[in-house]
């Protein structure tokens, strides 16, 4: 059997240095040891999860369609296209002091975490550049730590740098006039939305559980009335779904809400943020 044609291949960007982000053990994502458990749980965002995805893509039924590419760390200058200097400096200082710091609830910067976060951001930028340079039309940035909760000035929800937000900004800086972000996850893609909340050049769409805010690091509610501000009013579309929504619920929301909005926006580039947390 001949190999699939180039047009059928999925270009996957990956770097195994991202496995060096150790999120620790405890009770779920707290990192706490109450002293009376026989076995502490791994943090839900752990390296085993991504190792299995790499294995599936390498050995599974679509392995012959995959082209592998290596990522590289983001530079500080690149990070500042989305994040504030003060926030980046805080993470740099925490890393210099040896890590072992809970940046916000459930989000731990341990030795190796900062370099892994740089690789996640840079690998995503490498994937975007691959498309912008005309080498392909479909790429998958397989990265951790994740990014879509990270806001311009703070970490949130296991995320340090907003990988998708950085890629969107690179697309805009490279000449794309309009970029779509479609975020499918149990949780609201609040960081990406916050980064472009006042822009009419980016349509941010998020399908998520109707969970509301979860504290100071995640003040956004993800409700339908969070529509953007200023020039960005009407360019943030939240689609909160009832708990327990399955394939039919997602399909209905896509057909009735998302697709018409995307067709009206007519983006030059689409960035998909695909969470695995609702997948069996």
Q: Which residues are catalytic, by number?
A: 149
Cβ-contact 152, 84 below 8 angstroms:
yes
Calculate ∠ Cα 166-276-31, nearest 5°.
85
- Strands annotated E in the chain: 10-14, 25-26, 41-42, 66-70, 101-104, 107-109, 139-141, 179-184, 202-209, 236-241, 269-274
Phi, psi of 135 (to 5 degrees): -90, -15
Cβ-contact 26, 4 below 8 angstroms:
no
CA distances from 57 to 7, 11, 12, 13, 226 (A): 18, 11, 9, 12, 37
CA 249, distance to chain mean position in Å, is 22
Phi, psi of 156 (to 5 degrees): -170, 145
Number of helices (H), then strands (E), belonging to the chain: the values are 8, 11
User: Which residues pair with residue 151 across a beta bridge?
Assistant: 154
d(CA 108, CA 102): 4
d(CA 228, CA 35): 46
């Amino acid at each position: 059997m001949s190999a699939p044609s180039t047009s059928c291949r999925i270009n996957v960007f990956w770097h195994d240095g991202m496995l060096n982000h150790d999120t620790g053990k405890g009770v779920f994502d707290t990192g706490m040891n109450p002293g009376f458990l026989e076995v502490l749980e791994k943090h839900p965002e752990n390296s085993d999860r991504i190792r299995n995805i790499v294995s599936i893509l390498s050995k599974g039924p679509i392995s012959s369609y995959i082209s592998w590419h290596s990522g590289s760390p983001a530079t500080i200058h690149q990070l500042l296209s989305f994040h504030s200097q003060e926030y980046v400096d805080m993470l740099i200082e925490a890393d210099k002091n040896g890590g072992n710091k809970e940046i916000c609830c459930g989000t731990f910067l341990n030795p190796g975490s900062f370099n892994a976060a740089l690789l996640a951001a840079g690998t995503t930028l490498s994937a975007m550049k691959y498309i912008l340079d005309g080498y392909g039309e479909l790429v998958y940035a397989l990265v951790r730590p994740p990014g879509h909760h990270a806001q311009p000035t703070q970490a949130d929800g296991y995320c340090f740098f907003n990988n998708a937000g950085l890629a969107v900004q690179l697309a805009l800086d490279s000449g794309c006039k309009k970029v779509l972000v479609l975020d499918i996850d149990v949780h609201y893609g609040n960081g990406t939305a916050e980064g472009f909340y006042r822009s009419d050049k980016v349509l941010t769409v998020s399908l998520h559980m109707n969970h509301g805010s979860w504290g100071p690091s995640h003040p956004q509610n993800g409700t339908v009335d969070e529509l953007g501000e200023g020039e960005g009013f009407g360019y943030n579309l939240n689609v909160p779904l009832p708990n327990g929504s399955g394939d039919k619920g997602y399909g209905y929301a896509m057909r009735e809400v998302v697709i018409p909005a995307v067709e009206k926006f007519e983006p030059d580039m689409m960035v998909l943020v695909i969470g695995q947390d609702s997948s069996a």
